[in-house]
Amino acid sequence: MIPFEYVRATDVAGAVTAGAEPGAAYLAAGTNLLDLMKGGVARPTRLVDITRLPGLAALEWRDDGSLRIGALARNSDLAHDPAFARAYPAVAEALLSGASAQLRNAATAAGNVMQRTRCPYFTDTGSACNKREPGSGCDARGGETRLHAILGWSEACIATHPSDFCVPLVALEASVEIAGPAGTRNLPLEAFHRLPGDAPERETALEPGELVTALVLPPEAAGFAGHSRYLKVRDRTSYAFAVVSAAVGLRLDGGRIAEARLALGGVALKPWRAREAEGLLAGRAPDEAAFRAAADAALAGATPSGDNAFKIELARRLVVRALQRATAGTPERLPALPGSVLAPASEAVHV
């Protein structure tokens, strides 16, 4: 690790001022950043500690039915909050399917949104990586690509975004509250993460010095609570990133789908909202034919970025499975294996 300056911020304005300096990075739990620093992947010259900023760990249930999630809310506290789990079960299921209990006890909501790709060529400083060193090339191209992108990738980068949490948040049209040198702004989470294009080093829409202060779920998000699921295919049932994942929310009316929400994870450098598939489902009966048509639409633009064509069919099947489980209804309690396709559909044992 290189020498760095440590600054402990006491308010948001002071944090933004300190974070606007070149080479600065914000530090909360550090479950991703510190690992990258130890490996020489991230080399900030200043760490701005935001862990003591007042009010940023709270959940604020607003009168209009929306929910403001403070940036420093812990993943485990959020997932195990009874009111939160009832209103947004797919989000709670996604949180509990990620990392380990120890990491969830430390990791924060904003840190989850800000985490960087787990592409092994990015984390290996001996490999060429345009994301880590712009213009150096991408050794993942022609390398081991089993877990890489099938949507939205470019010749410059084929990495995927690792978050589980972000997938149902995008499906539910969450937004990001941002503080920066120019003031505060709000941005849809769907627009927050960037596809690689020819500038994969630009991972988010944040400008220098900007700080995520909260995530906001809109009032209508809770309307999907009765038919909402998150499913994740991974190499092992615990402590593994998604090969592919899917978040589904349905509103059923008169035996038909009044409205559908669908997002995929593990397939691109950002959570992938499948809007065309949502449109195909609206007004249809929730049956196998509708689900397969939606799955085909969701993956219509998918192309292998190497030896990972299997992910396209796997994602199609996962979409169908997630739609089936969402139609059956949200369990009264979170499954014992959150997010797992191996858990019986009827299982509802609270962890």
Its CATH class, for the domain covering 224-328, is alpha beta
- Residue 346 — pLDDT band, cuts 50, 70, 90? low
What pLDDT does 324 receive? Answer: 97
Tokens found for residue 276: 């065309």
- Written as six digits, the tokens of 113 are 């949104």
Maximum Cα interatomic distance, the chain, rounded to a whole number of Å? 63
Q: Is the pLDDT of residue 14 over 90?
A: yes
Q: Write out pLDDT tens, residues 111-130.
A: 999 999 999 999 999 999 99
Q: Do 47 and 27 contact (CB within 8 A), yes or no?
A: yes
Residue 56 has pLDDT above 70, yes or no: yes
Q: How far is CA 316 from CA 189, 202, 322, in A?
A: 24, 29, 10
β-pair type (24-27, 175-180): unpaired
Q: What is the pLDDT of residue 336?
A: 86
In the structure, what pLDDT confidence band is assigned to residue 73 with cuts at 50, 70 and 90? very high
Write down the domain spans for the chain. Answer: 5-52, 59-114+164-220, 224-328
CB 180 within 8 A of CB 207: yes
Q: How many residues would you count in the chain?
A: 351
Tell me how far apart the terminal alpha carbons of the chain are, to the nearest angstrom.
38
- Residue range 232-247: mean pLDDT, rounded: 94
pLDDT of residue 351: 32
Q: Give the separation between CA 222 and CA 91, rounded to whole angstroms.
A: 11
Q: Residue 136 is encoded by which pair of tokens? A: 């150096």
**What average pLDDT does range 101-113 have in this prediction?**
97
Percent of residues, the chain, with pLDDT higher than 70: 98
Structure tokens of 319?
A: 């979409």
CATH for 5-52, options being 1.10.260.40, 3.30.420.40, 3.30.1330.60, 3.30.43.10: 3.30.43.10
For the stretch 187-219, pLDDT in tens is: 999 999 999 999 999 999 999 999 999 999 999
> What pLDDT, in 10s, does the model give residues 136-157?
999 999 999 999 999 999 999 9
Which of 267, 235, 231 has the alpha carbon at shortest distance from 248?
231
Looking at residue 110, its pLDDT comes to 98
Say if residue 45's pLDDT is above 90. yes
- Report the pLDDT averaged over residues 286-307: 98
Per-residue confidence (pLDDT) for residue 344, from 0 to 100 = 79
Q: What is the pLDDT of residues 302-311, one digit of tens each?
A: 999 999 999 9
Handedness of CA 202, 206, 211, 212 (dihedral sign): negative
Strand order in the sheet with 175-180: 59-61, 67-70, 211-217, 175-180, 183-188
Whether the Cβ atoms of residue 200 and residue 268 lie closer than 8 Å to each other: no
Residue 151: per-residue pLDDT:
98
Q: What is the pTM of this model?
A: 0.97
pLDDT at 269 over 90: yes
Calculate the CA dihedral of residues 129, 133, 135, 141 and round it to 10 degrees.
0
CATH 3.30.465.10 holds for 59-114+164-220: yes
Close Cβ partners of 123 (under 8 Å, ≥ 6 residues apart): 36, 39, 41
Does residue 348 register a pLDDT over 60? no
What pLDDT does residue 82 have?
96
Band of the pLDDT at 316, cuts 50, 70, 90? very high
Q: In whole angstroms, give the CA distance from residue 123 to residue 103.
A: 19
User: Looking at residue 128, what DSSP letter applies?
Assistant: -
pLDDT of residue 350: 36
Under the banding of pLDDT at 50, 70 and 90, the label for residue 349 is: very low
